[in-house]
Each structure stands twice: as structure tokens, then as C-alpha cells.
Amino acid sequence: MASARSEALRETIPLDGSPERRIEGLVDHAKMRAVYVYEAPVRLWHWVTVLAMIALAVTGYLIGKPLSSVGGEASEHYVMGYVRMIHFISGYVFAIGFLGRIYWHIVGNRWSRQLFMPSLFSGKFWGGLVHQLKFYLFLTDEPRAYVAHNPLANLAMFLMFALVGLFMIFTGFALYSEGLGIDSWAGRMFGWVIPLLGQSQDVHSYHRLGMWIMVMFAIIHIYMAFREDILSKQGIVSSMVNGYRYFKD
């Protein structure tokens, strides 16, 4: 019973100097351990990013397919203007948050490094990924415990969030530079993205496609967070709230 799982646990949880504490008498699991995984800046960043992305996806969708027309004088309304303004403000929040998260990759704990640098060159990572796939396809009953992301989640976060997020920032600021002018700071820094992808219309299309990829990520991510929380023997959602991951051993 305690075989494979606790072995995996021992492998993935460093029992050395990392902040870890025993929680006695919580619920009815006598032996429950908690590891401090996500430090406050990561948690703050996570929820700020969630809010920014909701705003970006909603306003972004409306930029391509605007709301129904309003009547009256043009001077009385600023509907499209506000939609775009909210998009740009959230875009800045998203981008600055992203930069902050990169900074935390450097100064944060070991788990803060998974998002941008999954261990793509380790056999163990890919073995774990295959195992996780099998687990989700109900081909194996043996869950494995990881302190931070499991390899499959890690890869999805790297590809669908980190890389696509970077793509959204580059294409987003390239489009933004079109309004500021080609000699603006944004034009000089991001203007090259437009000819690289074809022309402005292509950048719009790819930026929009990027949104859908991030929406897909969010659907899977939220589902998995709750599913693991309910079905696995480790607390997941709490880790993004108070930072601790609980292992119900």
C-alpha cells in the first residue's frame, strides 16, 4: 500500500533543508505533511494574471467582434474606446507581471523554476509525463505525488502558458505600437514582429488564435486543479492560496 507512492514521494520531496512541517491532527489523517511550495509573490502573481487574462480574453474577443452599435452622437459614447483601453491596461498588467515572474524564477525557490524551465532533458521527466498521461487515461491506478507540478502539467504550463504568453506579449505590443507610431518605444522594440509574421492582419489573427490556446489551457488547468484536489491524496488548490501543499500520506 505504501509502496510505490511513498517511494515516488520520497523521490520528489526533498526532505533536507526545505521548509516543511508536520501537521498533526488535521482532519483525520494522522500523518499529513505540508510543503511550502508557492511563495507569496508567485501566488500574488498567479491571481493577478488570472484577473488580467479574463479581462484580456473578454475585451480581446470584443475587439475583433464588437458589441452591437450604440445610437446617438459619437461624442456621447466611448464603448470601443473603453474596451480597447481595458485591454491595453490589462495587457500592461499581464506583461509586467510576466516580467516579475521571470525575476522570481531567478530569486525564488526551486519550484518557482519549473514554469519557465521544465526539466525537458531528464529521462525522469518524460517517464513521469508518460505515467501521468496513463494515469489520466485510466491506464494505471497508481497516482504519483509531486511537490509542485507533475511533468504533464509542467509541460502544458511551459508550452501553453509561458511560451504562448510570451507570444501574446510580443504580438500584443506590436499591435499596440501601431497606434503609438512606428517611431515610438513600442515601435522600436516590437515593430519587427509585424513583418516577421506577415502583415498587421496576420498579427491580429495569430494574436487571436493565441487567446484561444490560452482559453484551452485555462479550461484544462482549472479542471485539473480541482480534480486533483478531490481525487488525489494531495491538496492542490490550497497551494495557490496559502502556499502549502498537503500530502495525505
Partner 1 sequence: MADTFYDVMRRQGISRRSFLKFCSLTATSLGLGPAFVPQIVHAMETKPRTPVIWLHGLECTCCTESFIRSAHPLVSDVVLSMISLDYDDTIMAAAGHQAEAILEQTIEKYDGQFVLACEGNPPLNEDGMYCFQGGIPYLEKLKKMADHAAHIIAWGSCASWGCVQAAKPNPTQAVPIHKVLNKPVIKVPGCPPIPEVMTGIVTYLLTFGLPELDRQGRPKMFYSQRIHDKCYRRPHFDAGQFVEKFDDEGARKGYCLYKVGCKGPTTYNACSTTRWNEAVSFPIGSGHGCIGCSEDAFWDKGSFYDRVTDIQPQIESTADRVGGTLAAVTGAAVVAHAAASAIKRARDTKGAKTTEKGGA
- Which residue ranges make up the site for partner 1 (CB under 8 A)? 1, 5, 64-71, 74-81, 83, 136, 138, 141-143, 178-179, 181-183, 191-192, 195, 198-202, 204-206, 208-209, 211-213, 215-216, 219-220, 223, 227, 231, 233
| Cβ-based nearer residue to partner 1, 80 or 93 | 80
| Cβ-based nearer residue to ligand HEM, 1 or 185 | 185
Backbone angles phi, psi at 245, to 5 degrees: -110, 125
Q: Name the grid cell of 97.
A: 507581471
Who contacts 199 (Cβ-Cβ below 8 Å, separation ≥6)? Answer: none
Q: Which residue has the cell 498533526?
A: 24
Q: Name the grid cell of 127.
A: 517517464
Dihedral sign, Cα of residue 177, residue 210, residue 161, residue 87: positive
Three-class SS of residue 39? coil
Pick one of partner 1, ligand HEM, none as the site partner of residue 206 (Cβ within 5 to 8 A by kind).
partner 1
C-alpha 198/C-alpha 34 separation (Å) is 50
> Considering the rule CB under 6 A, would residue 13 count as an interface residue with ligand HEM?
no
Who contacts 73 (Cβ-Cβ below 8 Å, separation ≥6)? Answer: none
Q: From the CB of 91, what's the least distance to ligand HEM, in Å? A: 3
> Considering the rule CB under 6 A, would residue 83 count as an interface residue with ligand HEM?
no
| Cβ-based nearer residue to ligand HEM, 30 or 40 | 40
Cα-based distances in Å from 58 to 52, 162, 188, 206, 232: 10, 20, 28, 17, 33
> Considering the rule CB under 6 A, would residue 157 count as an interface residue with ligand HEM?
yes
In one letter, which amino acid is 160?
M
Q: From the CB of 192, what's the least distance to ligand HEM, in Å? A: 15
Interacting residues with ligand HEM (CB under 6 A): 42, 46, 49-50, 53, 56-57, 60-61, 63-64, 84, 87-88, 91, 94-95, 112, 114-115, 148-149, 153, 157, 161, 168-169, 172-173, 175-176, 204, 207-208, 211, 214, 218, 221-222, 225-226, 236-237, 239-240
